[in-house]
Amino acid sequence: MKKLMTAVAAASLTLSAVAHDIVPGEPQQQPILLQGGTLYTVTDGVKQDTDLLMVDGKISAIGKDLEIPAGAQVVDVTGKHLYPGVIAMDTTLGLKEIEAVRATEDSDETGAITPEVSGHVAYNPDSEVIPTIRYNGISHAQIVPQGELITGRSSVLQLDGWTYEDAAESLDIGVHVNWPRVGVSNSWWESRSPEEQRKANAEARKNLERAFIEAKAYYDAKQAGELNGTDLRWEAMLGLFDGSSTLYVHADDERQIREAMDLTKEFGFDWVLMGARDAWRMADQLAAADVRVVFGAPYGLPTRHDEAFDQAFSTPAALAEAGVDFAISYPGYWDVRNLPFAAGNAVAYGLDKDAALRAITLAPAEFMGVADSVGSLEVGKQGTVVVSAGDLMDPIGQKVELLFIEGRLVDLNNRHLQLYNKYQQKP
């Protein structure tokens, strides 16, 4: 084991005594050569016994027996598994600390239509949750405002920053919409009649359409110089009309998805479908329409009573089979760390292992416009690399030993390890 590994080990020991003292990694000072690992490149297959060189925060070479540059730190990763950092879409990391304590929540703005709010603005980089997420190999996350209808704009952050600016990978990448409910429910807490439910559904749908029409009118008026003043809501949606911003549509039901396909086509939006529980019912149509899908229920219970017990588990395989471009997400905050395992679960139900890995690395990067820098192990991309002793997607394999984000070594210590270490010492 080389110097670096020792340093890491020593650091975590000393750090463990002091809570909160988990310091963001220093910018990469010298070349780092990871020697002899198994590389899951995502874009170029699995490479056994291969070296990976990072220089100035970027991957500068991948190959067998790379030459050791002058002044490089060399880490022997023989027998280890190397992955690009996992990218978690659809999270509220940094926006929630303790769900049941309202003062610690910054995820839901009031009002049905709030496209003007941005997730990164309230992001707390010192959240105790974040280091526990990194610990499982997740390097980046999409921070998404929650709410009713148009909830706000999301940003992609790397998970080891001093501030949100320091953590920014790409800010305000798109606007999020929760598609209005469709269908009727007969659950006993639904007191409205089917007729009333249908009416309410239609009304919510109308509200959404109206918002897009307003936003478009604002855009057109602005282009023509005909505005009376500035409206922050519609300003936030301008990018949707010139293609510089993406619409993230959260929709699970087949009917919602179809409506979303129609509406986005009508407005010509660049869009991504999030959630997508029913995507398996219409996989061919989604593939034909080139809809990008972020499947958000990898551990989901069946949506409907009569669906197969493993419907959600096997949906990624069905999407892959139909040729849908898809990612897998694990919406939430503290539980987002299970994302790699959830992808592994999809493998048990028919998904190809490489496709599963792609669904939590490159696909999210592409869907959020950051694939130039992250999402795969490729020369020229960020030196964002996970080193695990075993299979990252399997709980009996995963053991993340090193995590680099942009070539910076990330402290894997966290609240859980600290408490673990502390109470191991209790007599």
Contact positions vs other proteins (CB under 8 A): 97-101, 128-129, 182-189, 191, 193-194, 253-255, 278, 299-302, 304-306, 308-310, 333-335, 337-338, 341, 344-345, 347-349, 391, 393-399, 415-417, 419-420, 423-424, 426-427
Shortest separation between residue 285's beta carbon and other proteins, angstroms: 14
Nearer to other proteins, 41 or 311 (CB): 311
Shortest separation between residue 136's beta carbon and other proteins, angstroms: 8
Could you give the CA distance from residue 89 to residue 69 in angstroms, rounded to a whole number? 36
Burial class (CB in 10 A: 0-12, 13-18, 19+), 11: middle
Shortest separation between residue 110's beta carbon and other proteins, angstroms: 17
SS3 106: coil
Nearer to other proteins, 99 or 266 (CB): 99
Distances (CA, A) of 89 to 86, 119, 231, 273, 274: 10, 13, 29, 12, 9
Shortest separation between residue 14's beta carbon and other proteins, angstroms: 20
Nearer to other proteins, 19 or 23 (CB): 19
Across the strands, what pairs with 58?
55, 382
Shortest separation between residue 309's beta carbon and other proteins, angstroms: 4
- CA-closest candidate to residue 294, choices 245, 328, 340, 270: 328
Nearer to other proteins, 54 or 400 (CB): 400
Tokens read off for 394: 């399997």
**Residue keyed to tokens 């979303």:** 260
- CA-closest candidate to residue 269, choices 150, 422, 413, 180: 150
Q: Compute the C-alpha angle 263/264/268, nearest 5°.
A: 120
Shortest separation between residue 162's beta carbon and other proteins, angstroms: 22
Shortest separation between residue 165's beta carbon and other proteins, angstroms: 25
Nearer to other proteins, 107 or 373 (CB): 107
DSSP string, 166-194: HHEEEEEEEEEEEPPP-S----TT--S-H
Which distant-in-sequence residues (6+ apart) come within 8 Å of 188 by Cβ? none
Shortest separation between residue 369's beta carbon and other proteins, angstroms: 29
Nearer to other proteins, 233 or 399 (CB): 399
Could you give the CA distance from residue 115 to residue 175 in angstroms, rounded to a whole number? 6
Nearer to other proteins, 237 or 328 (CB): 328
Could you give the CA distance from residue 253 to residue 247 in angstroms, rounded to a whole number? 18
Nearer to other proteins, 98 or 232 (CB): 98
Which distant-in-sequence residues (6+ apart) come within 8 Å of 51 by Cβ? 33, 34, 35, 36, 37, 61, 62, 63, 64, 65, 66
